[in-house]
Structure 1
């Protein structure tokens, strides 16, 4: 297996909340399947292939 995860750093908690809100809207639409988990410093999104995207503040 190649890529396990990658990370995106957003500038602040407001930007992180905006990402979370957008992910919630996409999930509610039901067209894309992924899991969102809260982490100490942000969130982690895992797609159907098991690749994780971590979004956090500095």
Structure 2
């Protein structure tokens, strides 16, 4: 799943995602990564593209 999070709202968004995840997947750990920290090849593997400003 890919979620766009508004700048400055990361903690609030992750808290909400974690609550939902625990509700539907009790006992399983939530593993997440920020795409801004991913390399271009990883983004392509997800079927995403990045555009330079």
Under TM normalisation by the shorter chain, which class is it?
0.3 to 0.5
The normalised TM-score by structure 1 is 0.37
TM-score (norm 2): 0.40
Larger Rg: 2
More helix by share: 2
Structure whose residues are more often strand by fraction: 1
